[in-house]
Amino acid sequence: MKKKLAVILAGILLLIVSGCGNSNAGTAEPGQASLPVSGTAVSEPSASEETTAEPSGESSAAETTALETTVPPETTAAETTAAPMVFQDVDETVYVTGQVNFRAEPSLDAEIKAVLSKRASVKRTGIGDEWSRVVQNGEEGYVSNKYLTTEKPKVPAGSVEGQAGTGIYHEGGDILVVIDAGHQGKQMTEKEPNGPGSSTMKAKVASGTEGVSTGNEEYKVTLNVALYLRDELLSRGYSVLMTRETNDVKLSNVDRAQIANEAGADAMVRIHCNSSEKSSVTGALGICQSPDNPYCGDIYKTCLKLTKAVLNGHCEATGRKNTGVWETDTMTGTNWCQVPNTIIEMGYMSNSDEDELMGTEDFQRNAAIGIADGLDDYFGR
């Protein structure tokens, strides 16, 4: 009896299972394809189908997981892997320990806005792990921390070959300006390279010009203005390094540039008087290198800015006509100089009126004040 009952129950169960398995056979829900009766697996959509199919408005569990682990469309992979650069705000003066690029962004691939010289001082407003945010001449940029220090460098009161009256240092402030009074008592006809490694040779120092009316020697007028400028800059809080403080020296143009280079000066001003075959020519002129200069073209923009500032200041203070900037790569002292530098031709000694004017104490004092005003403008003081 029990055996017979078990057989009956097994038969009933078989009927139930068979009926459930075939309930969808040959039929389909509206909008759906019929499922295959056989046991053949349904193939997954290909990758191309996944990318071209219209969205259904709903996400499967697999799709949801994929969205959570992939980068959102508006975010790049670089943004998710590179942490933003953080700078701690500071307000301090720092000094450059070696020639370094001043960049628009904290990256080695960023635009180079200027080249900072050794010992140059800048204001640091922020510091990160590898870069510092600094302000130089009123412009914000970035410098590698490897080339900055808070310790103020010492400038030795050195001289050239032990000569008295050369390389005289005057302590006054964080910004160091080298003043070079053009020419000297005796010219040096020996030759030196026009630039580092150049095969073109030029006289070490020319004799300079003299006044057509007064007979004044250029080297004396330039030294007078240089000494006035020294005192003016010291009164304004600059440090000053004089290439010479006497006319009886033997300084070549390369020597003068090297004094500025070795000191890591923030700027160098070379003071001169001009001359022309035409006595009617007047006015002040600024001189710097061209952007294609093979020796110092990398600091062209900085030198041009300095030249314009000094020239404008000089003309405003003395009333001289501003004849603009002459860009030339023929000046030995410029080609050898690795720091921002300029030549200011104060006026024409070949013109009687300007010759007599430049010989006066008033003009020389005003010229110094104007050059100092230009430096203030250049440094954003």
Question: pLDDT: is 285 or 80 the higher one?
Answer: 285
Q: Which amino acid is at 316?
A: E
Is residue 327 one of the residues assigned to a domain? yes
Q: What separation in angstroms does the CA of 153 have from each of 80, 144, 150, 166, 265? A: 42, 18, 9, 20, 11
The two structure tokens encoding residue 215:
């007979």
- Is there a single domain that holds both residue 298 and residue 354? yes
In sequence order, which ranges of the chain are alpha helices (DSSP H)? 2-21, 47-52, 61-69, 77-81, 218-235, 253-263, 300-318, 332-336, 352-358, 361-379
Average pLDDT, stretch 75-84? 49
Question: pLDDT: is 189 or 68 the higher one?
Answer: 189
In 3D space, the residue among 186, 170, 189, 188 whose CA is nearest the CA of residue 178 turns out to be 170
The two structure tokens encoding residue 33:
């394809």
Average pLDDT, stretch 327-333? 98
Q: CA-to-CA distance for 359 and 363, rounded, in angstroms?
A: 7
Mean pLDDT of the chain: 82
pLDDT reading at 304 higher than 50: yes
Domains in the chain, number: 2
Angle at 136 between CA 315 and CA 173, to 5 degrees: 75
CB 212 within 8 A of CB 177: no
Q: Name the band, by pLDDT with cuts 50, 70 and 90, for residue 59.
A: very low
Question: pLDDT: is 100 or 83 the higher one?
Answer: 100
Q: CA-to-CA distance for 263 and 372, rounded, in angstroms?
A: 20
Is residue 329 one of the residues assigned to a domain? yes
Q: CA-to-CA distance for 108 and 240, rounded, in angstroms?
A: 33
Average pLDDT, stretch 354-366? 98
pLDDT reading at 57 higher than 50: no
Q: Name the band, by pLDDT with cuts 50, 70 and 90, for residue 158.
A: low
pLDDT reading at 251 higher than 50: yes
Q: CA-to-CA distance for 305 and 324, rounded, in angstroms?
A: 12
Q: In this structure, how many other beta carbons lie within 10 angstroms of the beta carbon of residue 316?
A: 15
Q: What is the pLDDT of residues 100-116, one digit of tens each?
A: 899 999 999 999 988 88
pLDDT for 156:
59
pLDDT for 139:
87
pLDDT for 136:
80
In 3D space, the residue among 254, 249, 251, 244 whose CA is nearest the CA of residue 192 turns out to be 254
Would you give the DSSP letter of residue 110?
Answer: S
Q: Specify the pairing of strand 176-181 against strand 267-274.
A: parallel
Is residue 298 one of the residues assigned to a domain? yes
pLDDT for 155:
66
Q: Name the band, by pLDDT with cuts 50, 70 and 90, for residue 49.
A: very low
CB 271 within 8 A of CB 344: yes
- Is there a single domain that holds both residue 259 and residue 314? yes
Q: Which domain holds residue 124?
A: 88-149
- Is there a single domain that holds both residue 198 and residue 111? no
Q: What is the dihedral of CA 200, 305, 368, 312, to 10 degrees?
A: 120
- Is there a single domain that holds both residue 235 and residue 333? yes
| pLDDT above 90 coverage of the chain, percent | 65
pLDDT for 271:
98
Question: pLDDT: is 252 or 156 the higher one?
Answer: 252
pLDDT for 313:
98
Question: pLDDT: is 140 or 137 the higher one?
Answer: 140
pLDDT for 118:
73
- Is there a single domain that holds both residue 117 and residue 171? no
| pLDDT above 70 coverage of the chain, percent | 77
281 exposure class (CB count in 10 Å sphere: 0-12, 13-18, 19+) = middle
- Is there a single domain that holds both residue 315 and residue 245? yes
- Is there a single domain that holds both residue 219 and residue 357? yes
Q: Which of 119, 149, 179 is the last residue of a domain?
A: 149
- Is there a single domain that holds both residue 209 and residue 348? yes
CATH of residue 361: 3.40.630.40
The neighbouring-strand residues paired with 136 are 139
The pTM of the full predicted model, rounded to 2 decimals, is: 0.68
Q: Give the number of C-alpha atoms closer than 13 A to the C-alpha of residue 133, restricted to the C-beta side.
A: 13
pLDDT for 55:
36
pLDDT for 32:
36
